[in-house]
Amino acid sequence: MITVSNTTSRQRWTLWLNDEILEPAFVALTLIGIIAGLMLEGIGAPDTVILAVHLATYFFGGFYATRTIIESLRHWSIEVDLLMVLAALGAGYLGDFTEGAILLFLFSLSNVLQAYAMRRTRQAISALMELRPDTVTILRDGRELQVSVEEVQVGDVVALHPGDRVPLDGVIERGSGAFDESAITGESMPVLKTPGMTVLAGTLNQTGAIAMRVTKPAHESTLARIITMVSEAQARKARSQSFLEYFEQRYAIGVIVAVALFILAMPALTGAAFADVFYRGMVLLTVASPCALVISVPASLLSAIAAGARRGVLFKGGVHLEELSKVRVIAFDKTGTLTFGKPVVTDLVPEGDIDEQELLTVAARAEQPSEHPIARAILHAAEERGITIAPPDQFTAVTGMGVKAMWDGVETLVGSPRLFAEAGVIVPAGLLARADELIGQGRGSVLLVRRGKQWLGLVAVMDRERPDAAQRIAELRAAGIERIVMLTGDNPQVAEAMARRLGIDEVHAGLLPADKLRIVEQLRQRYGAVAMVGDGVNDAPALAAATVGIAMGAAGTDAALETADLVLMRDDLGAISYALRLSRRTQRVVWQNIAFALAVVVVLVSATLTIGVPLPLGVVGHEGSTIIVVLNGLRLLLFR
């Protein structure tokens, strides 16, 4: 039996023993010892020789189990391995060394098979680590130099040739090419990258000679953080797993005490021979061991986490995988999830004698320091018109309302009517009417622009909804989601029109981050488990308040990797339904394993107490059930 709890202790020993080589070798030697003992008994060899072979067989068969027991007892805990070793020692005490050796052989063989199977669930990490090359070609003084990846510093320029794996996160300075990002984001189609665009460590440059400037050191790259995240997720236990490990300790003690009482009481109560009762007690120690039960949960959870990681769906622990399966309500932030999150300027409505060029210039200068998508859209529109934008002397972003900026001693306000209401400025009725007209036409955001005491006009910005959003929402309903909610800071008219098109049940518009937090808490009170889908930055409070916070399209986004419980590396709504179905399939497999493991224990214990079960048959039933639940959990690696 292998348990998660003894992994750390085993790692200490691997400093001088390579378990992956020695443990299978010890299993083989145990089998050889069993065969040799039977042959020696068959030819009538001296008892001392036969006993020496049996003791050697016990040593090889029980070495790893005994080592685990010693480490556990040092920490005042009991592993189920103790039950197996006690049963084998009991068989030896009765002179049934061969049966005890068979027990140890099957038990240690089961350990080796489980260790091999569980290592497969960690191949996602190994595969990710292999994505980063050991050496990098950097450009210095016009020459290409080969250096180790750890020597590369932020700001160095890396040369990428066709077929090269990207070693570190960076930005393309020269050249363009198609990049295979499937290992990081799960995106199957190559992505064209041009100068100014971000490339991620672990992706593959398929075409083009490219010069890339490094933006993050090796230990901070997106790939490195994904590796860390998956490793930590596999170590972070779900509630069901933690309960079973808590249960294991007490159950093992209970079995030992119950068997001891059985051995002491049965001869007196029934007159049965002590040797027969003792033998049956050793069988009970074996078949009552909860090995299959304890391994049933981690085998499934680790497989599911690895399967998700290979497809760009990163769970930050088994507990979040477990919680997602309970979700019946999903709340979406609109921008960047249901829409592309890249709005564009659609209308410029100058006021009075102001022209469009001047209106856009003032709005862009006021927004220049902002990282908000609307600001980026305005700046992009100014860039397309060849307008050069200088930064303002002073800048203040007012969350959910707009910006205040100042240059040449004059204050400029750009934002929604709420911004001007907060500033005590009355907006002309005619300007408000034109803004309402644009909103009625479906414009996502209409910004009022005022410099000093002069109204300059309106700037309308609209985000585009994802063409597959309605289909993906329908898939979520098919997957069991009962209610879908939209949370947005946009105008209610725009939000409600989009909700009708996409089939969303409930809309909350005109929200600040604190409002989203409040509504998510209300949804939890009304419906129970709630998932929140956002970008991991502006939606951080709501993501934290939700049962499961989901950051979508988070490749290269530090805040998203840190904030959410579930990170979807690619910008694809379909990954949400995949994660949901994976979590529900995982819970079904977990409960299948638990039910099967309990049933096997009940049947074997009942048979041992009634008709009697030979020790080798009890071992086969016990270890067979353990291997079956592990293999059943490993099926999740193939989940699509």
Residue pointed to by tokens 């067979």: 624
Find the helix packing angle between 97-121 and 291-310, rounded to 10°: 20
State how far the Cα of 172 lies from the Cα of 252, in Å rounded to an integer.
Answer: 59
Q: What is the DSSP string of 431-461?
A: HHHHHHHHHHTT-SEEEEEEETTEEEEEEEE
pLDDT category at 16 given cuts 50, 70, 90 is very low
pLDDT of residue 6: 39
User: Which fold would CATH assign to domain 314-340+465-582?
Assistant: Rossmann fold (3.40.50)
DSSP 8-class letter at 335? I
Q: What are phi and psi of 393, to 5 degrees?
A: -75, -35
pLDDT category at 358 given cuts 50, 70, 90 is very high
pLDDT of residue 451: 93
Q: What are phi and psi of 59, to 5 degrees?
A: -60, -50
Active site residue 505: no
Residue 343 has pLDDT above 50, yes or no: yes
pLDDT of residue 530: 92
For the segment 556-579, what is each residue's pLDDT rounded down to a tens digit?
A: 456 556 667 888 877 788 889 999
Cβ–Cβ contacts within 10 Å for residue 510, how many?
14
Q: In angstroms, what CA-CA distances link 614 with 99, 283, 621?
A: 9, 7, 11
pLDDT category at 232 given cuts 50, 70, 90 is low
State how far the Cα of 85 lies from the Cα of 143, in Å rounded to an integer.
Answer: 65
For the segment 61-88, what is each residue's pLDDT rounded down to a tens digit?
A: 888 878 877 887 787 766 667 777 777 7
Residue 598 Cα to chain centre, angstroms: 29
pLDDT of residue 554: 61
Kindly state the tokens that stand for 147.
């250096």
Find the helix packing angle between 274-287 and 615-634, rounded to 10°: 0
pLDDT category at 537 given cuts 50, 70, 90 is low
pLDDT category at 634 given cuts 50, 70, 90 is confident
State how far the Cα of 438 lies from the Cα of 428, in Å rounded to an integer.
Answer: 16
Q: What is the DSSP string of 272-302?
A: --HHHHHHHHHHHHHHT--HHHHHHHHHHHH
State how far the Cα of 183 lies from the Cα of 99, in Å rounded to an integer.
Answer: 49
What is the domain partition of the chain in residue ranges? 4-124+230-304+585-638, 134-216, 314-340+465-582, 344-462
Name the residue among 505, 507, 516, 498 with its Cα closest to residue 482: 505
For the segment 596-623, what is each residue's pLDDT rounded down to a tens digit?
A: 988 988 998 899 888 888 877 887 887 7
* Amino acid identity for residue 204 in this structure: L
Q: What are phi and psi of 164, to 5 degrees?
A: -80, 140
Residue 352 has pLDDT above 70, yes or no: yes
- Contact assessment for residue 475 and residue 485, using Cβ atoms and an 8 Å cutoff: no
> Considering Cα of 465, then 468, then 474, then 475, what sign does the dihedral take?
negative
Q: Decide: residue 598, CB within 10 A, 0-12 exposed, 13-18 middle, 19+ buried.
A: middle
For the segment 258-289, what is each residue's pLDDT rounded down to a tens digit?
A: 888 888 888 877 777 888 888 888 888 778 87
State how far the Cα of 548 lies from the Cα of 566, in Å rounded to an integer.
Answer: 7
**Across 294-308, 467-481, 592-606, least confident range:** 294-308
Mean pLDDT of 504-514: 84
109 contact partners, CB below 8 Å, separation of at least 6: 27, 623
Q: What residues pair up with 531 in beta bridges, in sequence order?
A: 330, 548
pLDDT category at 220 given cuts 50, 70, 90 is confident
Name the residue among 117, 30, 16 with its Cα closest to residue 65: 30
For the segment 397-425, what is each residue's pLDDT rounded down to a tens digit?
A: 887 788 999 999 999 999 988 899 888 89
pLDDT category at 636 given cuts 50, 70, 90 is confident
Name the residue among 557, 239, 216, 529 with its Cα closest to residue 371: 557
pLDDT of residue 120: 58
DSSP 8-class letter at 334? I
Mean pLDDT of 48-63: 87
Strands 483-487 vs 506-508: parallel, antiparallel or unpaired? parallel
Residue 359 has pLDDT above 90, yes or no: yes
Kindly state the tokens that stand for 608.
């041992």
State how far the Cα of 260 lies from the Cα of 142, in Å rounded to an integer.
Answer: 79
pLDDT category at 241 given cuts 50, 70, 90 is low
Name the residue among 589, 580, 579, 582 with its Cα closest to residue 300: 589
Instruction: State the Cα torsion 472-475-476-479 to the nearest 10°.
Output: -160
474 contact partners, CB below 8 Å, separation of at least 6: 503
pLDDT of residue 13: 41
User: Which fold would CATH assign to domain 344-462?
Assistant: Calcium-transporting ATPase, cytoplasmic domain N (3.40.1110)
User: Which fold would CATH assign to domain 134-216?
Assistant: 2.70.150
Name the residue among 523, 531, 524, 527 with its Cα closest to residue 568: 531
Average pLDDT, the chain: 81
Range with top average pLDDT, 24-33, 202-211, 217-226, 380-389: 380-389
Residue 127 has pLDDT above 60, yes or no: no
Q: In angstroms, what CA-CA distances link 176 with 145, 167, 611?
A: 21, 17, 75
Q: Decide: residue 586, CB within 10 A, 0-12 exposed, 13-18 middle, 19+ buried.
A: buried
Pick the catalytic residue from 164, 333, 490, 535.
Answer: 333
Q: In angstroms, what CA-CA distances link 282 with 103, 152, 363, 576, 626?
A: 11, 61, 83, 50, 19
Find the helix packing angle between 239-270 and 274-287, rounded to 10°: 170
Where are the extended beta strands (E) located within 133-251?
135-140, 143-148, 157-160, 170-174, 177-180, 191-193, 198-199, 204-205, 210-214
Mean pLDDT of 367-395: 89
pLDDT of residue 399: 76
Name the residue among 300, 329, 290, 297 with its Cα closest to residue 505: 329
